[in-house]
Amino acid sequence: MHEMSLCEGILQVLETESQKQGFDCVKNVWLEIGDLAGVETEALLFCFDAVTRDSLADRAKLNIIHTPGSAWCLKCAKNVSVKQRFDECPQCGSYQLQVTGGDEMRIKELEVE
């Protein structure tokens, strides 16, 4: 979905941070993307190159750290791991699950100079 907008969002954050933290070139970006975040990694990499051209992150490398999906099963009353939003509880088969993790999209750290 909307990977182009996400990359524009990343670039905005980089530009804001470059002012705050005093750097003018970004070499590496580490993103944390949850398995349930609905982000297509390939599309994100492709768009990132296009969006950052001639910016402070020109030729920066995008590194993606995948975080697993997790949910609270109301029946088992505990946390279980899920791969998709519509997965059933791997222990009891219930669909009464509340996603508790794996939907994040965060910029974790940068290598800058």
Partner 1 sequence: MCTVCGCGEGETKIEGEPRRHDHHHHHEHGHDYGEGPAHAHAPGMSQSRMVQIEQDILGKNNEYAMANRGYFLQKGMLTLNLVSSPGSGKTTLLTSTLNELKDEFPQVVIEGDQQTSNDAERIRETGVAAIQINTGKGCHLDAHQVGHAVDHLDAPDTSVLYIENVGNLVCPAAFDLGEAHKVAILSITEGEDKPLKYPDMFHAANLLLLSKIDLLPHLDFDVGKCIEYAQRINPGIKVIQLSGKTGEGMDSWYRWVRANRQIAMIDCPVAQSDGGA
Q: Which residues bind partner 1 (CB under 8 A)?
A: 1-2, 5-6, 8-13, 15, 17-19, 21, 23-25, 27, 31, 38, 55-56, 74, 84-86, 88, 95-99, 104-113
Q: Is the CB of 1 or the CB of 92 nearer to partner 1?
A: 1
CB 29 within 8 Å of CB 70: no
CB of 49 to partner 1, least distance (A): 16
What is the C-alpha separation between 18 and 21, in angstroms, rounded?
5
Rg of the Cα atoms in the chain: 17
CB of 50 to partner 1, least distance (A): 13
